[in-house]
Structure formats: structure tokens, C-alpha cells
Chains A and B, each alone.
Chain A
Amino acid sequence: KAGVTQTPRYLIKTRGQQVTLSCSPISGHRSVSWYQQTPGQGLQFLFEYFSETQRNKGNFPGRFSGRQFSNSRSEMNVSTLELGDSALYLCASSPRGGSAYEQYFGPGTRLTVT
């Protein structure tokens, strides 16, 4: 099976712009989660989607949003970019809900805001 893919891998944006990141989960996986990884804060949960519905959301401002399509592919959007949004954004998929299931991570999108 193909793994989780994320596009683009690298992105440079300017403050105030917006950005859309894409994630394709492993075939058959219905749950997609997004994380922000920074050296200072570690891995922080953004949100989780399951069957096109947002089931869970972390403590991020409303500038961060996401959606999931019927084929389970997911996108996240960040509007009005700030310097502090520079990070590695990781997407992870899981076959279904339930705490016993591990997550499968993509390689991440490295976002740099200048």
C-alpha cells in the first residue's frame, strides 16, 4: 500500500498570505489528523477529520482550518500567515476511530513564513 503523501513538501510564503496544504491518506483510512511541529512546542494537534466531519480540534486560532473530501483526502488552510506559523506540518491517517489504532504519518510539509 502507498503511504501517506503530503504536498507540497516545502513552501515559502510571506506574512499575511494564505496557504493550503494537502494530504492523501493510506487507501481505506478514514481518519486524518493534522499536527504542527516546531522545535519549541514539539508536536501539537491541530484537528482530526473522520468521514468528512471534524471530530476534534486543538487549541489553534480560527486562521487554521481544514476539510476532508469524500475520498478521505484532506486539506488544511492557514490564512493571514504569521512568522510564528513557520513549522513542519504533519498529516497522519488511521484506519478508523478508536484509541488502539496507531497513526501513519506523512513526511510533512515544511512551511517557512518570511
Chain B
Amino acid sequence: GDSVTQMEGPVTLSEEAFLTINCTYTATGYPSLFWYVQYPGEGLQLLLKATKADDKGSNKGFEATYRKETTSFHLEKGSVQVSDSAVYFCALTMDSGGYQKVTFGIGTKLQVIP
């Protein structure tokens, strides 16, 4: 079946450091890929998405490129802030029999220290 693999963390970085959170996937077909973020005490919210190979999603300084050849969708940010501390989820969706099937990664906790 479909799966998403990402490091669980926590990842601890100093403010203004470079961030990479790796995400790789397994899917039969051509999924859409997403990064969601969950701040403490809240539900998930969409950070960025890419719906086809070589697409780059970007938002709030975060970027991720859909790499079909390496089945990856790594999240990057050039300079993290304390306010970026949250849990980040990589996810894929596939059309399956007329409905969408969503698979989430385990989530990576990011802690940014001043």
C-alpha cells in the first residue's frame, strides 16, 4: 500500500539555521504531495502542496519540490524562527476508485531555540 516516511525527531535548531525535513513516499501511481503543520493545541493546517512531478510548493519561506525519480518531497527553509516550532507532517493523496485516499507520515517535531 501507499506509505510516507519521515524522521520523527525532535529536530532542534537554533534560530536562523537552515532546515531540512526529509520525506519519501511509496505509491502506485501519481500522488499529490502535501506538507501540513500542527502548532501546539491546534489542528493541522496546510503549509504547501505539489500535484505533479517537478512542481515546487512554497509558503512562508518553506519550500518543497516533488521529485518523482527519488520519490521524495523534502521540506526546506533557509532561516527558521522560534515561531516555526511545531510538528510537520508529510502526506500524499491518491485517487482511488472515485475517492481520494490520504496517507500521512508520522510527523516531525521541530524545536527552534533563540
What is the interface of chain A, defined by CB distance below 8 A to chain B? 4, 31, 33, 35, 42-43, 45, 48, 50, 55-56, 90, 92, 94, 97-108
Q: Is B100 an interface residue (CB 8 A)?
A: yes
Known: A48-B99, A98-B100, A108-B43. 15 other contacts (CB 8 A): A31-B100, A33-B102, A43-B104, A43-B107, A55-B98, A56-B101, A92-B44, A98-B95, A100-B51, A100-B93, A102-B46, A103-B46, A103-B102, A105-B44, A108-B42
Shortest C-beta distance, A29 to chain B (Å), equals: 13
* Smallest Cβ-Cβ distance to B33: which chain A residue: A99
A101 CA to B94 CA, complexed, in Å: 10
Give the secondary structure class of A's interface.
strand
Q: Which residues of B contact A101 (CB under 8 A)?
A: 93, 100
Which of A31, A55, A90, A98 contacts B44, CB < 8 Å? A90
Q: Which residues of A contact B106 (CB under 8 A)?
A: 42
